[in-house]
Amino acid sequence: MKTTLALSALAAATAFAPALATAETVQLGPRPYYLIDRMADGELKSKLAACAKGPFMHTDFSIGHRGAPMQFPEHTVESYTAAARMGAGILECDVTFTADKELVCRHAQNDLHTTTNILATDLAGTCVKPFAPATADKDAVAECRTSELTLAQFKTLQGKMDAANKKATSLEGYMDGTAGWRTDLYAAENGTLMTHAESIKLFKSLGAKFTPELKSPSVTMPFNGFSQEDYAQKLIDEYKAAGVPATDVWPQSFNLDDVLYWIKAEPEFGRQAVFLDNNYNDAAFDPMKPETWRHKMEDLKAKGVNYLAPPMWVLVTAKEGKIVPSVYAEMASAAGLKLITWTLERSGPLTTGGGWYYQSIKDLTKSDGVMFELLHVLAQDVGVVGVFSDWPATVSYYASCMKLK
């Protein structure tokens, strides 16, 4: 029954797709205007305010990060549909695999306990770590993986907002952890999960392009004869089978070997492969000090890497009370690398520094209006070619106003 409902939802989502292809149907809602109202007075605020009546366009500069997960369950038909309606020209399916080696959209192979209702279903018994409530000295725990389920089992689940209350002493409390600045309003009867192949069909129908991310497996590879190379190749093969041109696909990975595999084995797709740089995991990493970086920019370029995607804070710094490009951003551009960044609208209110994504400019981050100031520097001074967002309307508004394609 659930599979039938999922297919019906997919059919319903694709039914309105032709209407989404026109500028007249891009719907941004009130949030961009809210953010502009909170900006400091100046040239940028005046420019953005003057664009209030549009027109607003679908733009490749605006990338739906797992869809529109600020308010919709990530990696679902509903989330992707919302992102496309908000003008996102590129949509992301994070890709992992099931026990029968089928590719599905999920941020991690082991996140089903926080992103779906699995713990409240009969499939809870498949979890590698069953739910255990919090105690006085230990957090609540659970771990549920797609690699423990067949595709048929996976498709019976429902997506929910990605969250868990680790202090909960009950299953209901654990599953009810959505941040206050997000919402469960659109999760109660929705959350249609998708295979990677279904995401390709849906995105095509929405007029959007593709940026799949090959996620690191939680299981040891090879998995039942399925090697890392097989995994990387299968992702590309599903675009080829759907007749999608390589120019519409930006495959991503934090694993440089995956990117180099695509460059060698599938050069047309490899030309747009995106290396998600996770230098930031190193304690010594400093975007202002090249000697702390794992890779030299010119070496990456020499290996055939054309796109580099670090988090936003890596690309900027604060100087004399202004947001300016970091040394990392300057050297990447000098090496001929195109930059994509992540993730706007993932930090909640910015009145107290913005948290992890704003750490390099925390002293300048005192208002939600800083979001557009940062976006402007990323676009105009750093020169990024795309920005991931959990609520694409903000980036779509900016891109349409500045006439970015």
Q: At residue 76, does pLDDT exceed 60?
A: yes
Domains and CATH numbers, the chain: 2-109+189-401 (3.20.20.190)
Q: What pLDDT score was predicted for residue 227?
A: 98
Q: Which among 257, 332, 264, 259 is positioned nearest to 293, based on CA atoms? A: 332
pLDDT digits (tens, 9 = 90+) for 343-389: 999 999 999 999 999 999 999 999 999 999 999 999 999 999 999 99
pLDDT digits (tens, 9 = 90+) for 104-157: 999 999 999 999 999 999 999 999 999 999 999 999 999 999 999 999 999 999
Q: At residue 16, does pLDDT exceed 50?
A: no
189 — pLDDT class (breaks 50, 70, 90)? confident
Share of the chain above pLDDT 70, in %: 94
The answer to whether 339 and 332 have CB atoms below 8 angstroms apart is: yes
Average pLDDT on 292-313 reads: 98
Average pLDDT over the chain, rounded to whole? 94
Q: Cα(131)–Cα(142) distance, rounded to whole angstroms?
A: 4
**DSSP β-ladder status, 59-64 and 386-389:** parallel
Burial 305-321 (b: 16+ CB within 10 A, else e): bbbbbbbbbbbbbeeee
Whether the bond between 55 and the residue before it is cis, its omega within 30 degrees of 0, is: yes
Cβ of 91: how many Cβ atoms within 10 Å? 28
Q: What pLDDT score was predicted for residue 1?
A: 35
Q: Which among 54, 99, 108 is positioned nearest to 393, based on CA atoms? A: 54
Q: At residue 2, does pLDDT exceed 60?
A: no
The helix (H) or strand (E) run that includes residue 316 is strand 316-319
pLDDT digits (tens, 9 = 90+) for 253-302: 999 999 999 999 999 999 999 999 999 999 999 999 999 999 999 999 99
Burial class (CB in 10 A: 0-12, 13-18, 19+), 5: middle
- More confident position, 99 or 4: 99
Q: What pLDDT score was predicted for residue 24?
A: 56
Q: At residue 183, does pLDDT exceed 60?
A: yes
- pTM across the whole model: 0.94
Q: At residue 220, does pLDDT exceed 80?
A: yes
Q: Cα(378)–Cα(90) distance, rounded to whole angstroms?
A: 18
**Residue 103 tokens, joined:** 């590719």
Q: Hey, is 20 helix, strand or coil?
A: helix
Q: What pLDDT score was predicted for residue 405?
A: 85
Burial 135-146 (b: 16+ CB within 10 A, else e): eeeeebebbbbb
Q: What pLDDT score was predicted for residue 25?
A: 75
- More confident position, 61 or 3: 61
Residue carrying structure tokens 């670090």: 310
